[in-house]
Structure 1
Amino acid sequence: MSSLSTVLLEALMPWRNAKAWLVAFSGGLDSTVLLHLLAQLRQTHSLPPLTAVHVHHGLQAEADAWPSHCQVLCDALNVPLQVVRVQVQVGASLERAARDARYQAFTAATGAQAVLLTGQHRDDQAETLLFRLLRGAGVSGLAAMPRQRPLGGGHLFRPLLDVSRAQLEAYAHEHNLSWIEDPSNTHTRFSRNYLRHEVVPLLTRRWPQAAASIARSAAHCAEAQGLLEELARQDLRHAGGASEFSWLELPSLAFAPLVSLSPARQRNALRHWLTAFGQLPDTDHWAGWDALRDARDDAQPVWGLADGELHRAGGRIWWLSGNWLRAPDAPLCWNQPDLPLTLPDNGQLRLVGDIPHGPLQVGYRQGGEVMELAGRGHRDLKRLLNERGVPLFARGRLPLLYRNEQLLAVANLERLDSGPCGRWQLQWMPTSSDQGLS
């Protein structure tokens, strides 16, 4: 067994019980060697079922011949081939658009307990770190490509990150393998290609082990990032816990434990937390967190981000996105109050207990509402909401129950959500599908 086979088999040991192995097969050198190695290994070892997946971008005329080339090699190795044709949304970066389309296809192809294997190697890792360094990336970015990560219903794994391109070329020549040379890989107008053809060779002439050293630095950064994530989870546990308004079903954190941390730890914890909700802010945008944190309690601070907003209210910070950023439609007639009422873009409302008589309507706060309370007479709704500390962002979405223009109840607020005798209760289940969770 070749040294590369030994390295590959050892790297894949944790994934031997996977339901299936998929190989991201472009037909280039890296994926060709990876597929050939796996086909050879399965002759002497028990491995999961193996399938090659070729993504056809159709960005250049030469690409139309590549699926046939891949099919010939797969037939020779007795490996099934799946060809996926994608449309690339061309924008500012063709490289990024093609990559996004490719990984969308891989995500769809990777089922439960399956592992997608890609052929990126040590030289690719070094290029990735340099590219991100030039973009001013932090520790997470400088960790470059992770060896493994969740993908689709399974995982993505890069088993060749410790192998150089020279080793792959030597193996390919030894086994008389043929592979596709993508003409676009020589175009130095693309940033990655410029690094590959102009910068890395220059560095290597001065420092022969440059690629290996740079890739090793990426591994150090990956370890440091792991420690930062561990610290973030620890800090977020202290800032977690249920809110008295947990029925809002919004992600939130206690404000005091978070701001007791150093500014660097605050940002680290928030990065970890915000990752679940969409695109993270860049360095310049973190000034928005400082402004939200340092604002007066009555200033209603909001930090606008790419995929939503961070609000500070009631001693907590809250993540709002989707329908929470739009005013709900009202008023609504509740013609069948014995059945739940679906509120457009605002969840569902129901009455529990003895249904009050009369024509019922549902509205939202406009200002100036007055409510009659047993033993307290008429009370201004704004004052009642202030007494209960209802977050300002939620007040305009709280369903209000009316009968003949008389405000009967405010959903979910104790002693305001029922009739004078407590024989019924107004319950609101906010929408839980628009939190922006990814």
Structure 2
Amino acid sequence: MTLQRFVDNALVNHMPGRVVWVALSGGLDSSLLLHMVAPLARRHGIELRAIHVNHGLQAAAGDFELHCRELCQALAVPLSVAHVEVEPAGRGLEAAAREARYRAFAETLAAGDRLWLAHHADDQAETLLLAALRGSGVRGLAGMPATRQWRGIQIERPWLTLSRSDLVREARRREIVWCDDPTNVETMFDRNYLRAHAMPPLRSRWPRLAEVVGRSAAHLQEADELLGELAAIDLAAAGGDPERLLLTTLRILSPARLRLLVRHALQSQGLPTPPAKRLAELERQLRAASGDRLPAIAWAGGEARIWRDHLFLMAPPVAIDPEWQRSWDGRASLETPWGVHSWSLRPWPHDPARPVLQVGLRRGGEAMRLAGRGRRDIKRLLQEVGIPPWQRDRLPLVWHGDELVAVLGALTAEGWRQTALPIPAAAQARFEDDG
């Protein structure tokens, strides 16, 4: 099958109204992809756009951007350029750049759009080998999927079964101009080292290396899908909420299934999984903890707590300012420095002009008048309704004049009503790494 046929087949099942985006770096692979997609998209009546992410990490970044602008102008393809800041923060430069790149994709593309990446079979082989060298599990060894849903965007890699040599031959035949990344020769980066020093002798010994490794990645992707189905079954049995799992269910699982469920619950929230030692300690705590204990296990980007016969999995809490306060109309979601609270609040049954509400945090000694119960201490009420201790000091308290009328998401005073609002999409979105 010719390269053109690969691209044409990928466009056949296009849904009307969706946009196809090509992630254009300016290198050989993505430049060739755009060259081949542009006339086919016009033939099929498909809207085609390109996105270039300028990481600003090298002197040649401006040249890459200029090349992409000139290429898109020549092909009459609209181009979006995203300038991003890469902040390694202990994750490594490559991982941080990838995160910034995907953040740019999420901010530029709309739900339902298709994003085409020009990864090929040699990239897939490198990804699997790097994952093996890092001790990754099934998901990491499964490499890059040919297609997947990510934040409502359909990510596709139409060339994942083709070798780079196929792409080079086609690019030269078409006399396509591209930019060579000067950092590709810097073997301080793991992928570059593998590409320069490990892949050539392996390919010399096993000429079909990329094809064979690609088949292994496909088998592992199937295994990962099956493990995901098993984890979903166990999640349903543990209550269905990935943030709050029943200990009674967790304790009857085998160690392997328990670890699988914890990883699945964390990934469902977009949170990183703990390293092996932290996961082992979490398992030990799960087996030993009584229902009212509060052991906490933390790792980079995540935290686990046990309370009232449940395992809570969450992101590390954001520091709060106990003096924080603001006014609120009670109608729209309340935004705070540590999150969005999607509740409305109004007098009930009477609803006069919008009341002026003040919002702050607990300072101790607050009380609220409840229907049929009179005034009650907030501390005891939060215990009664089952709010975990680590969440109590960050729940917004809402005042109407001198009267405490609500604790958002937990308690409502007599004469008032809280109503849940749809959660804003921006509050739900979390970054997911897609290789």
Normalised TM-score (structure 1): 0.76
Structure 1 partner of 2:284: 291
* Whole-Å separation in 2 of the counterparts to 1:190 and 1:41: 36
* Whole-Å separation in 2 of the counterparts to 1:68 and 1:412: 51
* Whole-Å separation in 1 of the counterparts to 2:61 and 2:377: 70
Is this contact kept in 1: 2:263–2:273, CA < 8 A?
yes
Whichever residue aligns with residue 67 of structure 1, its letter is E
Matches within 5 A, 1:187-266: 187-240=186-239, 251-266=243-258
Whichever residue aligns with residue 286 of structure 1, its letter is L
Structure 2 partner of 1:358: none
Is this contact kept in 2: 1:412–1:426, CA < 8 A?
no
* Whole-Å separation in 2 of the counterparts to 1:68 and 1:274: 40
Deviates more, 1:286-295 or 1:199-208: 286-295
Correspondence for 1:64 among 62, 65, 78: 62
1:292 and 1:155, CA in 2 relative to 1: closer, same or farther beyond 3 A? same
Structure 2 partner of 1:302: 296
Is this contact kept in 1: 2:243–2:265, CA < 8 A?
no
Is this contact kept in 1: 2:126–2:195, CA < 8 A?
yes
* Whole-Å separation in 2 of the counterparts to 1:429 and 1:324: 25
Q: 3-state SS of the aligned residue for 1:61?
A: coil
* Whole-Å separation in 1 of the counterparts to 2:300 and 2:88: 21
Structure 2 partner of 1:115: 114
Structure 1 partner of 2:354: none
Deviation digits for residues 281-321 of structure 1 (CA, Å, limit 9, x no counterpart): 12222023213302233432223243453222222223455
Query: What's the % identity of the aligned pairs?
Result: 39
1:86 and 1:175, CA in 2 relative to 1: closer, same or farther beyond 3 A? same
Q: 3-state SS of the aligned residue for 2:136?
A: coil
* Whole-Å separation in 1 of the counterparts to 2:306 and 2:95: 35
Give the superposition deviation at 1:114.
1.3
Give the superposition deviation at 1:251.
3.5
Is this contact kept in 2: 1:309–1:319, CA < 8 A?
yes
User: Matched residue pairs, number?
Assistant: 414
Rg: which structure is higher?
A: 1
Is this contact kept in 2: 1:307–1:436, CA < 8 A?
no
Give the superposition deviation at 1:417.
8.2
Structure 1 partner of 2:275: 282
* Whole-Å separation in 1 of the counterparts to 2:132 and 2:121: 17
Deviation digits for residues 34-66 of structure 1 (CA, Å, limit 9, x no counterpart): 1121124235x4142112222223333333223
Deviation digits for residues 188-225 of structure 1 (CA, Å, limit 9, x no counterpart): 22110111111011111111111211122111111111
Whichever residue aligns with residue 253 of structure 2, its letter is L
Whichever residue aligns with residue 147 of structure 1, its letter is A
* Whole-Å separation in 1 of the counterparts to 2:316 and 2:271: 12
Structure 2 partner of 1:86: 84
1:268 and 1:61, CA in 2 relative to 1: closer, same or farther beyond 3 A? same
* Whole-Å separation in 2 of the counterparts to 1:118 and 1:262: 39
* Whole-Å separation in 1 of the counterparts to 2:100 and 2:409: 47
Is this contact kept in 1: 2:41–2:48, CA < 8 A?
no
Is this contact kept in 1: 2:291–2:310, CA < 8 A?
no
1:394 and 1:25, CA in 2 relative to 1: closer, same or farther beyond 3 A? closer
Give the superposition deviation at 1:395.
6.1
1:88 and 1:306, CA in 2 relative to 1: closer, same or farther beyond 3 A? closer
Give the superposition deviation at 1:138.
0.6
Please, which runs of 5 or more residues in structure 1 have no aligned partner?
243-249, 355-361, 403-407, 419-423
Structure 2 partner of 1:36: 35
* Whole-Å separation in 2 of the counterparts to 1:325 and 1:58: 31
Structure 2 partner of 1:48: 46
Deviates more, 1:85-94 or 1:32-41: 85-94
1:69 and 1:394, CA in 2 relative to 1: closer, same or farther beyond 3 A? closer
* Whole-Å separation in 2 of the counterparts to 1:100 and 1:429: 36
1:270 and 1:18, CA in 2 relative to 1: closer, same or farther beyond 3 A? farther
Deviation digits for residues 91-117 of structure 1 (CA, Å, limit 9, x no counterpart): 553323332332222222212321111
* Whole-Å separation in 2 of the counterparts to 1:69 and 1:395: 54
Is this contact kept in 1: 2:397–2:408, CA < 8 A?
no
Normalised TM-score (structure 2): 0.76
Structure 1 partner of 2:355: none
Is this contact kept in 1: 2:116–2:156, CA < 8 A?
yes
Q: 3-state SS of the aligned residue for 1:172?
A: helix
Deviates more, 1:345-354 or 1:87-96: 345-354
Structure 2 partner of 1:421: none
Matches within 5 A, 1:375-386: none
Deviates more, 1:61-70 or 1:9-18: 9-18
Give the superposition deviation at 1:68.
3.0
Q: 3-state SS of the aligned residue for 1:178?
A: coil
Q: 3-state SS of the aligned residue for 2:102?
A: helix
Is this contact kept in 1: 2:347–2:415, CA < 8 A?
yes
Structure 1: 4+ residue segments shifted above 4 A: 320-330, 342-354, 362-367, 379-402, 408-414, 425-437
Is this contact kept in 1: 2:139–2:220, CA < 8 A?
yes
Give the superposition deviation at 1:169.
0.9
Deviation digits for residues 258-279 of structure 1 (CA, Å, limit 9, x no counterpart): 2221111111112111111422
1:239 and 1:328, CA in 2 relative to 1: closer, same or farther beyond 3 A? farther
Q: 3-state SS of the aligned residue for 2:214?
A: helix
Whichever residue aligns with residue 31 of structure 2, its letter is T
Give the superposition deviation at 1:364.
5.4
Structure 2 partner of 1:405: none
* Whole-Å separation in 2 of the counterparts to 1:143 and 1:235: 22
Is this contact kept in 2: 1:411–1:426, CA < 8 A?
no
Is this contact kept in 2: 1:18–1:115, CA < 8 A?
no
Deviation digits for residues 115-135 of structure 1 (CA, Å, limit 9, x no counterpart): 111101000010011111111
Q: 3-state SS of the aligned residue for 1:99?
A: helix
1:388 and 1:123, CA in 2 relative to 1: closer, same or farther beyond 3 A? closer
Give the superposition deviation at 1:322.
6.5
Structure 2 partner of 1:181: 180
